[in-house]
């Protein structure tokens, strides 16, 4: 190994120093590799003065504000709210007006009436009020249509005693409308959580692809810088000409690697553009100028709490679990309605009529009427079928609920395991990278003093670059696993963390 302060010679060192410098900037490398004199220094492309690194927090903010699926889910919520308004319309006051006149008949007369009917949510009771007037000559069999001079006012109530008493179609639709509106609202929340998870994955895919592209570009630049030095040494007779040819092969191979890496970066940018949009909601494909300068640091270790605590958190916050609970409540309403519809419809009717104005008949000033109405479908197949359907639906939803609870617990265990494995892998990759760069530096030292070969140096450079890329993959995989964990728990905090915001 070289001593501190030693002057370095040899054009072959400049390429290795460049890769080590990039690894240091990119991944917080350990011991520096030997530095050499070189006509130029390879650095990452400088971003424009007004450019800034794209952060996950910025992507998540755009997703929450502009993603088309969020807008679609909000409109679905509006539809559910509209259906709730429709259900509330079942309790609207109803006005009915009718009348008739017989101008050319043995008994010239006319009748007219206005009726107001008001359904109520109180045991299915219906209030009604009616004003009726009958003027002219009435035959004996129609004398009941005749009224006092100003007509007759009547008010009353119709109260179901069996069917439609505890619950009826109007109240069932109203309850279900509220439940379905709440389920639609939870659907918006569930979609936001899933889109945040997907956006985090796409963002870290983009970061990893961009950083690995820079590693490939640095490798290519190293080989190109080495080419001039090799040609100079071959011209002096220090090296055989095949070394230049072999380095040319290396350049071509690394050019292909850059093309592949660029394609992966462009592909990841295209996928990320579905989550990143401008002020006009058009997709934005971020370029290298917005790439973070370094791979993300490892997040803090998870708190060593029992799985049961995470499970309680998820069960209390997961929108899909709450949606299932609402679906069970919705179906329970349907079951109660079907069970009630198996009863006969027996309604009591009470009405009070008062003549207004001069009396037509002195003995008919006012009257109190009592009555009843009975309806009973004898086979009751509609109600029985609805009840069977509701009972089967209830068992189906309960089975789905049990499965979803098991899935949530499995997802929590898997997410925690993935985070821990990703952390261990990232730590191992960091150590591997440091060792790989130490070996690369040592091999370059040997080549300078004539003890090594260019082929071995190339292999060490490739090994160090692969270690850099594995460290990038490990760091971003850990961030993706953390995004999955937060989605499983249905937390609302961004998954960016230090270094990503």
**57-113 pLDDT, tens digit each:** 999 999 999 999 999 999 999 999 999 999 999 999 999 999 988 887 778 888 999
Q: Does residue 240 have a pLDDT over 90?
A: no
Contact between residue 295 and residue 27 where contact means Cβ atoms under 8 Å apart:
yes
Query: Which residues partner with 132 through β-bridges?
Result: 113, 152
215 in a domain, yes or no?
Answer: yes
60 in a domain, yes or no?
Answer: yes
Distance (Å) of CA 209 to CA 9, 203, 275, 339: 35, 10, 17, 61
Instruction: Supply the CATH number for residue 303's domain.
Output: 1.20.1600.10
Position with higher pLDDT, 206 vs 364:
206
pLDDT at 214: 94
The pLDDT-based confidence of 40 (bands split at 50, 70, 90) is very low
> For 380-439, what is each residue's pLDDT tens digit?
888 899 999 999 999 999 999 999 999 999 999 999 999 989 888 888 988 898 899 888
72 in a domain, yes or no?
Answer: yes
115 in a domain, yes or no?
Answer: no
438 in a domain, yes or no?
Answer: yes
291 in a domain, yes or no?
Answer: yes
pLDDT at 449: 74
* Token pair of 86 as six digits: 């429709």
Distance (Å) of CA 297 to CA 32, 173, 259, 497, 499: 20, 53, 28, 9, 6
For the chain, percent of residues with pLDDT exceeding 70? 86
Position with higher pLDDT, 157 vs 23:
157
372 in a domain, yes or no?
Answer: no
CA–CA distance, 245 with 248 (Å, rounded to integer): 5
Mean pLDDT confidence for 165-183: 95
CA–CA distance, 307 with 405 (Å, rounded to integer): 13
> For 28-37, what is each residue's pLDDT tens digit?
333 333 333 3
pLDDT-wise least confident of 256-270, 301-315, 474-488: 301-315
Query: How many CB atoms within 10 Å of residue 254?
Result: 23
Long-range pairs, 126-130, Cβ under 8 A, ≥24:
126/157, 126/158, 126/159, 127/155, 127/156, 127/157, 128/155, 128/156, 128/157, 128/158, 128/351, 129/153, 129/154, 129/155, 129/156, 130/154, 130/155
CA–CA distance, 340 with 328 (Å, rounded to integer): 18
339 in a domain, yes or no?
Answer: no
Helix/strand/coil for 129: strand
Domain that holds residue 429: 13-43+51-78+175-326+399-489
Please count the structural domains in the chain.
Answer: 1
Mean pLDDT confidence for 458-479: 90
Our CA angle for 248, 252, 258, nearest 5°, is: 140
């Amino acid at each position: 190994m070289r001593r501190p302060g030693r002057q370095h010679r040899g054009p072959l060192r400049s390429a290795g120093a460049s890769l080590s410098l990039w690894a240091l900037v990119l991944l917080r490398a350990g011991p520096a590799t030997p530095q050499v004199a070189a006509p130029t220094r390879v650095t990452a492309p400088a971003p424009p003065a007004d450019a800034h690194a794209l952060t996950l927090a910025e992507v998540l903010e755009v997703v929450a504000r502009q993603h088309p699926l969020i807008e679609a889910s909000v409109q679905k919520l509006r539809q559910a709210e509209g259906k709730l308004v429709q259900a509330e319309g079942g309790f609207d006051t109803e006005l009915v007006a009718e009348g008739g006149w017989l101008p050319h008949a043995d008994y010239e007369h006319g009748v007219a009436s206005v009726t107001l009917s008001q359904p109520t949510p109180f045991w299915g009771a219906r209030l009604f009020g009616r004003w009726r007037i009958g003027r002219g000559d009435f035959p004996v069999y129609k004398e009941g249509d005749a009224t006092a001079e100003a007509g007759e006012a009547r008010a009353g109530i119709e109260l179901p005693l069996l069917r439609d008493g505890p619950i009826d179609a109007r109240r069932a639709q109203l309850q279900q409308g509220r439940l379905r509106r709440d389920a639609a609202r939870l659907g918006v929340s569930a979609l936001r959580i899933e889109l945040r998870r997907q956006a985090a994955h796409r963002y870290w895919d983009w970061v990893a692809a961009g950083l690995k592209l820079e590693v490939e570009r640095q490798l290519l630049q190293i080989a190109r810088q080495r080419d001039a030095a090799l040609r100079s040494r071959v011209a002096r007779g220090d090296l055989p000409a095949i070394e230049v040819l072999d380095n040319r092969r290396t350049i071509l191979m690394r050019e292909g690697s850059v093309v592949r890496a660029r394609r992966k970066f462009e592909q990841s940018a295209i996928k990320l553009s579905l989550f990143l949009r401008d002020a006009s909601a058009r997709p934005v494909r971020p370029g290298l100028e917005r790439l973070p300068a370094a791979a993300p640091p490892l997040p803090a270790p998870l708190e060593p709490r029992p799985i049961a605590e995470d499970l309680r958190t998820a069960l209390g916050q997961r929108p899909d679990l709450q949606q299932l609970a609402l679906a069970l409540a919705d179906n329970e309403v349907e079951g109660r309605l079907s069970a009630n519809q198996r009863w006969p419809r027996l309604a009591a009717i009470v009405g009070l009529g008062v003549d207004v104005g001069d009396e037509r008949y002195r003995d008919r000033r006012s009257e109190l009427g009592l009555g009843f109405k009975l309806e009973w479908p004898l086979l009751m197949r509609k109600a029985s079928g609805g009840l069977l359907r509701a009972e089967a639906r209830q068992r189906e939803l309960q089975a789905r609920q049990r499965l979803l609870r098991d899935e949530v617990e499995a997802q929590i265990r898997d997410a925690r395991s993935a985070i821990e494995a990703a952390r261990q892998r990232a730590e191992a990759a960091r150590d591997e990278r440091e060792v790989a760069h130490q070996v690369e530096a040592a091999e370059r030292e040997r080549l300078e003093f004539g003890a090594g070969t260019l082929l071995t140096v190339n292999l060490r450079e490739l090994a160090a670059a692969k270690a850099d890329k594995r460290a990038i993959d490990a760091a971003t995989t850990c961030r993706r696993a953390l995004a999955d964990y937060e989605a499983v728990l249905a937390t609302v905090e961004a998954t960016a963390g230090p270094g990503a915001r």
